[in-house]
Structure 1
Amino acid sequence: MNIILIGMRGAGKSKISRRLSVLTKRDVLSSDLLIQYDNAGKSIPEILADNAGDWRAFRDMEYATLQKICALDGNIIDCGGGIIVDVDEDGSEIYSERKIELLRQNGRIVWLKGDIPRLAAKVKGDAKRPSLSETKSAEEVMMRRLPFYEKAADIIIDIENLSKKELTAQVHEEISKYL
């Protein structure tokens, strides 16, 4: 069974997955890093620029990457913040049944839930993170995604006021009930 971490930008998924790896002796697979690997090491903003800012194309890359990741067992999967969405014909984000179905086939999904204004402020201006929308603020996009995260999650952990060590211990304790 895989341990899958989802959450908004800045929630600490990558740091917690690495700490959890030490505790559980499991490898970490990052969906974003694997997409970058498949695109000659380009950053996510560069990949988007190469695709004329087409988030739908990126979500399809994400799905293809998940097909590879989810064929493996016993790992920690560090998901990009938008793993729970796809893009419809109108360009709007919708809940991604296909990606969540893949993740659920062989894992438990842990949502690292955080305060949206704090997370939006934390990642604001980070050049490694592409703009989520031409018309909406990051905070607005994150608010719209809340029900998608909740629907996808098997376990919800509030990250606020916890150190990385405390958060890792809580994730480990909750996920251990399924291992």
Structure 2
Amino acid sequence: MSEKNNIVLIGMPGAGKSTLGIVLAKIVGYDFIDADLVIQNQCDKTLQKLLDACGPEGFIAVENQVLSDLKAERSVIATGGSAVYSDEAMKHLSEIGHVVYLQISYDELKSRLSDLQERGVVLKNGVGMSLHELFDERKPLYEKYAEVTVNVDDLTITAAARKVASALKGLVPEA
């Protein structure tokens, strides 16, 4: 695979990676891959069951392996929010695609996310970790890996997808 012809979405749980990813794929004429679903299919467990079985570190190792082996062409790839914990996976994803950070403010995040426990969210420091601590821990990682950052606060999914498509003009080949 020689060219970076995928779009990789990173960001906090609730930032809209999966939902926006589907709309974005339609706008740019790409396929859509939800990395969380790929992990669930390969492990034959929901993310939450996988987290319960392996713990945060084990889950991150599984996610790293699945993402590092991911092969895609002309696809929008929605990663799990914890993908940025895996340097190897992020290196691979940035080699095969343009990494877009869907940036969301803490207040917006708080209004979108009700229960982290039910979403299969990786809390590295255990279940007692607050949403704010998670936000503060991951934000620098998203910024580190992002090639393009798009703030999606107060935008509808379609408006946010259009904003991402516009930010990528010239970077990804049109369908």
Preserved contact between residue 17 and residue 28 of structure 1 (Cα < 8 Å): yes
**Structure 2: how far apart are the matches of 1:47 and 1:13?**
20
Match of 1:76 in 2: 76
The answer as to 2:37 corresponding to 1:33 is yes
Superposition deviation, residue 131 in structure 1: 6.1
Distance 1:116 1:108, change over 3 A: same
Gaps (5+ residues) in structure 1? 86-95
Q: Provide the TM-score with structure 1 as the length reference.
A: 0.85
- 2:130 pairs, out of 137, 147, 162, with 137
Same amino acid, percent of matched pairs = 25
Which gives a bigger RCO, structure 1 or 2 (Cα 8 Å, sep 6+)? 2
**Structure 1: how far apart are the matches of 2:141 and 2:59?**
18
Task: Map Cα deviations across residues 62-83 of structure 1 (whole Å, 9 max, x no partner).
Answer: 11111232x3221110000111
Higher-helix-fraction structure: 2
Task: Map Cα deviations across residues 10-36 of structure 1 (whole Å, 9 max, x no partner).
Answer: 001111110011112211111111110
Match of 2:106 in 1: 116
Match of 1:45 in 2: 48
**Structure 2: how far apart are the matches of 1:106 and 1:130?**
25
Superposition deviation, residue 177 in structure 1: 2.0
Gaps (5+ residues) in structure 2? none
Superposition deviation, residue 118 in structure 1: 2.7
Superposition deviation, residue 128 in structure 1: 3.0
**Structure 2: how far apart are the matches of 1:143 and 1:30?**
25
Preserved contact between residue 131 and residue 138 of structure 1 (Cα < 8 Å): no
Task: Map Cα deviations across residues 102-148 of structure 1 (whole Å, 9 max, x no partner).
Answer: 11111100000001233134222252334623332022111121111
The answer as to 2:26 corresponding to 1:22 is yes
Q: Figure out how many residues of one structure are paired with residues of the other and give that number.
A: 165
Match of 1:156 in 2: 149
**Structure 1: how far apart are the matches of 2:120 and 2:58?**
17
Please give the secondary structure, in 2, of the residue aligned with 1:136: coil
Match of 1:171 in 2: 164
Instruction: Kindly provide the amino acid, as one letter, of the partner of residue 142 in structure 2.
Output: Y
Preserved contact between residue 17 and residue 78 of structure 2 (Cα < 8 Å): yes
**Structure 1: how far apart are the matches of 2:106 and 2:147?**
20
